């Protein structure tokens, strides 16, 4: 079970949003690089980064910061946030990103997703963000009338290397992940699944680890770290434990 501490970057700062709402965000003093270095020092091997500036603009705004983290911290990094072109994917792959997360652009254009999986084999992760079991896109502002499971069935054979399932109603709330729905997605998915949204305690981590034989590869931990609900020393004990 891989543990992915999260870094969301906005205006060169670490921030956390509640349910993806840019108007409901908390800024933290630590820089993204210092935060990544802290994770490295605690023994973490994986990192989840969202370029929120990129999500708003469709550009790789924080590429330099991410490149610095990769070159100095020796972490396996997955990156998402406004990745809408093959050129953006290539930029991330070229600097050593392990997985590039595609979201809205891939959901709105399945051919783009399919071709990306071919062009960048083993590098494409798909972010499926759901509200009441329906997919949401465009920074979660647009709720599609498409069941997450139905969409997954359509793209399951594209060659995805990872799936990140986020329950929007849980994200940033520290109310606990939607394990039941994530397991349903994992049972259907032909690639490993990452749990995302709502992690509040070490108990959530332990429960996720119990699901590691159900095609669940890892779990993302964000706001609970920044707010001190989960201590890094305690979380680090769960690495490969």
Q: Which of 180, 165, 222, 228 is nearest to 3 (CA)?
A: 222
Euclidean distance between CA atoms 159 and 175, whole angstroms: 33
Cα angle at 38 between 193 and 201, to 5 degrees?
A: 50
For 94, residues 6+ apart whose C-beta sits below 8 A from its C-beta are none
Active site residue 8: yes
Catalytic residue among 8, 51, 167, 171: 8
Q: Which of 31, 30, 89 is nearest to 60 (CA)?
A: 89
Euclidean distance between CA atoms 232 and 111, whole angstroms: 40
Euclidean distance between CA atoms 187 and 35, whole angstroms: 34
Active site residue 51: no
Q: Which pair of tokens denotes residue 171?
A: 């994200």
Catalytic residue among 51, 129, 171, 204: 129
Q: List active site positions.
A: 8, 129
């Amino acid at each position: 079970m891989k543990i992915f501490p999260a870094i969301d970057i906005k205006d060169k700062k670490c921030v956390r949003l509640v349910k993806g709402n840019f108007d409901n965000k908390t800024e933290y003093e630590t820089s993204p690089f210092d935060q990544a270095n802290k994770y490295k020092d605690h023994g973490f091997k994986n990192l989840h980064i969202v370029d929120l500036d990129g999500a708003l603009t469709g550009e790789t705004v924080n590429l330099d910061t991410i490149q610095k983290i990769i070159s100095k911290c020796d972490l396996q990094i997955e990156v998402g946030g406004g990745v809408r072109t093959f050129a953006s994917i290539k930029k991330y792959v070229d600097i050593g990103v392990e997985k590039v997360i595609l979201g809205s652009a891939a959901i709105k254009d399945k051919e783009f997703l399919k071709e990306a999986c071919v062009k960048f084999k083993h590098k494409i992760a798909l972010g499926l963000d759901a509200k009441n079991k329906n997919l949401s896109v465009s920074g979660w502002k647009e709720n599609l009338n498409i069941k997450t499971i139905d969409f997954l069935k359509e793209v399951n054979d594209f060659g995805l290397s990872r799936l990140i399932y986020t329950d929007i109603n849980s994200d940033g709330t520290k109310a606990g992940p939607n394990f039941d729905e994530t397991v349903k997605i994992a049972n259907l998915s032909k690639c490993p699944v990452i749990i995302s949204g709502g992690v509040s305690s070490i108990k959530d981590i332990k429960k996720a680890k119990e699901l590691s034989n159900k095609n669940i590869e890892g779990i993302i931990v964000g706001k609970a770290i920044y707010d001190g609900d989960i201590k890094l020393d305690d979380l680090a004990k769960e690495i490969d434990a």
